[in-house]
Amino acid sequence: MVNKDYKSQVTVIRKKIDEPKARQIVEEKKTSLFRSLLKKPAKEEVHTHSLNLNYEAVLMISGRYVADFYRKAIHPIKVDHNVTEVVLGEGVFPIRTKSRLKKAFTGKKGKNKVDLELEEHVFIDNECTLFFDQHGSQTKLPLKLDPKNMENYPTKILQNNEFVIKKPELAHKDAIGKLEVELKKPVGSNARNLNEKITINEISEIYIPIYEARLIGPKKKVEILRIDAAKNKIL
């Protein structure tokens, strides 16, 4: 059972650098992308064709999984060397068979081992948060979600036609499916009488500002330089 009564929100990360600063970074680093055999071209050989600001989405989803079920399990126990089997209720459990080679080399009596085949009643209370990049691949959030890093009016920014908004390609229902798989990993395949509940806590679209420069170098070779405007870092 999946409770999908979750809150959905949009967050826009604040820029730390403006376009003039981004152009300065591009000018300083542009030749490094065209390095060949440890040699870089001169700056005048590399032309900045365009510089655009994109807001690229990271999809965050969090949820909780509560379940109880029965599963088969084997618990090994040690017994004295002269014990041949263990009787538990109506079950009879023989000792593990020792190899002749081991007996010959050790020459010790030691302890015998018995594998008790039992059934466990298991309770799980598991929480998880996953992040997916714009293309739907699992990733990590590149920075902390601190109110100091967030824009106050995210909807207004995303409605600005001056920017390219790259929305998530992964649909919310598909993200929920991936979270379910992650949350239910501890259950395994041999569960019996499974009683479970999944609660989706939140799905958020987090938009990160990225400056993307299209560069043209010697022999009309094209390279892309990307700058994380929130962290002032070249990607």
**Predicted pLDDT at 106:** 53
* Res 103: pLDDT: 53
For residue range 51-77, what is the model confidence (pLDDT) as tens digits?
A: 999 999 999 999 999 999 998 888 998
Q: List C-alpha distances in Å: 42 to 20, 29, 47, 218, 227.
A: 22, 12, 11, 10, 22
Looking at residues 166-188, what average pLDDT do you find? 90
pLDDT at 105 over 60: no
Q: Is the dihedral of CA 62, 66, 70, 73 positive or negative?
A: positive
pLDDT value of position 61: 94
Domain boundaries, the chain: 2-67+124-234, 69-121
With a pLDDT cut of 70, the percent of the chain lying above it is 92
Q: Average of pLDDT values for 38-43?
A: 86
Q: Give tens-digit pLDDT for 144-154.
A: 888 888 889 88
Q: Residue 3 — pLDDT band, cuts 50, 70, 90?
A: low
pTM over 0.85? The answer is: no
Across 208-230, average pLDDT? 93
Share the mean pLDDT of the chain: 87
| Phi/psi-derived region of residue 196, left when phi > 0, alpha when psi is between -120 and 50, beta in every other case | beta
- Is pLDDT above 60 for 102? no
